[in-house]
Structure 1
Amino acid sequence: MARTRVRITSLLALTLSAGLTLTATGCGDSDSSDGPRAAGAKDGAPVVVATTTWEGAFAKAAGAENVKVIVPSSAQHAPDYDPRPSDLAAVAEADFVLYAPFEPYAEKIKEAAGSEAELVEQQLDNDPERVKAEVTRLGKLFGTRSAAARWNKSFDTEYATLRKDLKKAWPGGRSPAVVAQVYSAWSAKLAGADVVGTYGPEAVTARQLSDLSKKKPAFVLDNVHMSTGTVLPDSGARQIDIVNYPGKDLDLLAVYRNAATTVEKAMKAA
């Protein structure tokens, strides 16, 4: 994971002098035994700016107390968002800036970060093992290891419960065959489903359509943020919309609960 320090631009410095300031929200842990905090941290808690609620939820899970999210949770496709000058001003006030390399505005974020902001690149994925590893990594960076460890423990408990409940909902008591969009494959793992094929993020070709249909999946786990409509028309597969991004409350666990509820409903209706 790349971490880079860069200098604030002159234009942004003028913007900051006009009075644009950072507003911070969130909750976390302030156990001083976790080690040193960021040099610019307020009251021992680092100020974190995240490009989207996805990065923001990781920060909150890791124990960050002050989290500012740039892209509104209402944005259907976060990468299409165009950061405003006030957004970039917030970046310059941060101790840590979290972003994903696939976001087209990542370069603007890098240019806007002040000399004290540490840029943290994230490979966003809701796969459970990767999530826990990322929360642990951020906890070390923020000096909130104990909060991160507590969240990981609660995640393990919740995830196990959701998996158990979903298994009870398997049609006919058997693991269903599914096709999943590559960024929604984590939901298939959560459901204990048999992934017989994947697609995306590029558009599905006619050849892929034919090959995936031959697998005779019971469900298609689509990515609501990158959907191109019905993926396997006339195949008989029920399409399920999976949401990857948390809401404005930055509750990462809610993503799993919501996915479990959606998948369970579809399986019971099959």
Structure 2
Amino acid sequence: MARTRVRFASLLALTAALTALVTGCGSGDGSTPKDGATTPRGGKPVVVVTTTWEGAFARAAGAEDVKVIVPQSVHHAPDYDPKPSDLAAVGKADFVLYAPFEPYAAKIKEAAGSKAKLVEVNLDNDADKVKAEVAELGALFGTQESAAKWAASFDAEYAKLSKDVQGSWPGGKSPAVVSQVFTAWSAKLAGATPVGTYGPEAVTPAQLAELSAKKPSLVLDNAHMSTGPVLPDSGARQIEIVNYPGADLDLLPVYRNAAAELKKAMGGS
């Protein structure tokens, strides 16, 4: 990921500290595929997640005891340097959820010498991908019923929001949009017409010319990885799309907020 700053020396020290903390807690087999339910202690999974994004997926899948490592105040999560107390939480978990683009994920995985199962999560707010991920996590946690109920409520809310945004199309016509690679889901929510993507690196002069020539009316930038104005002087209106849920680990407000920004940008109230 562009501009990631990782302090490997401190991470190695933290890894050693955690290894000492979890010694005697049992043995794990490292990363585990989401291919079957594991019965946690007491029947309820204890889940540690790197960010609120994984946390929201876990909560949607039915997990109730969820510990988030990266504080919400950290705008660019991959820049966070985990503390010993953060990593120590891994030793008390049944599952640890992380994303492959997080530079500290490999160290967390290496440090998880306890019984915790490491689960790689596909962080993408595309509606179909979210439901698939939540269903897999529900099967892994043994909370399939809760995951299914959440999916039903999500479908209803998503359909409502999508209809509302599409009702704001300028002149009743689907707008042409350029999206950052991690915000394409919001274009889909809006029923917009995708004409190009960019990122996660800054747009090059060649990309600028190519994307501007497609005359998009909107640029859907990633609020967590913004590189500033993407298509200056193109006439396209740029809006910031937020991917990460809040401290309440509720994924639905992410879609509500995106819908509100899209509707506003299209001239709706």
TM-score by length of 2: 0.87
Report deviation, 1:115. Answer: 2.8
Which sections of structure 2, spanning at least 5 residues, go unmatched? 1-14, 24-35
Q: Which amino acid aligns with 2:119?
A: V
Match of 1:153 in 2: 152
Q: Which amino acid aligns with 2:217?
A: A
Hey, what's the Cα distance between the residues in 1 that align with 2:268 and 2:163? Answer: 18
Q: Which amino acid aligns with 1:51?
A: T
Name the SS of the counterpart of 2:174 in structure 1: coil
Matched, 1:129 2:128: yes
Q: 1:23-172 residue pairs with structure 2 within 5 A?
A: 37-39=38-40, 41=41, 43-172=42-171
Match of 2:249 in 1: 250
Alpha-carbon contact 1:37-1:44 (below 8 Å) kept: no
Change (3 A) 1:219 1:10: closer
Report deviation, 1:65. Answer: 1.1
Report deviation, 1:111. Answer: 2.1
Alpha-carbon contact 1:50-1:56 (below 8 Å) kept: yes
Could you report, residue by residue, the CA deviation over 1:42-79 in whole angstroms, capped at 9, with x for unpaired residues? x3211000000000000000000100000011111000
Change (3 A) 1:44 1:267: same
Match of 1:11 in 2: 17
Hey, what's the Cα distance between the residues in 2 that align with 1:236 and 1:269? Answer: 18
Identity percentage of aligned residues:
70
Change (3 A) 1:52 1:62: same
Q: 1:167-178 residue pairs with structure 2 within 5 A?
A: 167-178=166-177
Q: Which amino acid aligns with 2:39?
A: A
Which sections of structure 1, spanning at least 5 residues, go unmatched? 1-8, 18-34
TM-score by length of 1: 0.86
Hey, what's the Cα distance between the residues in 1 that align with 2:63 and 2:86? Answer: 19
Hey, what's the Cα distance between the residues in 1 that align with 2:186 and 2:58? Answer: 21
Q: Which amino acid aligns with 1:11?
A: A
Hey, what's the Cα distance between the residues in 2 that align with 1:227 and 1:79? Answer: 14
Count of residue correspondences: 244
Over the aligned positions, Cα root-mean-square deviation in angstroms equals: 1.9
Hey, what's the Cα distance between the residues in 1 that align with 2:45 and 2:71? Answer: 21
Which stretches of structure 1, 4 residues or more, deviate above 4 A after TM superposition? 13-17
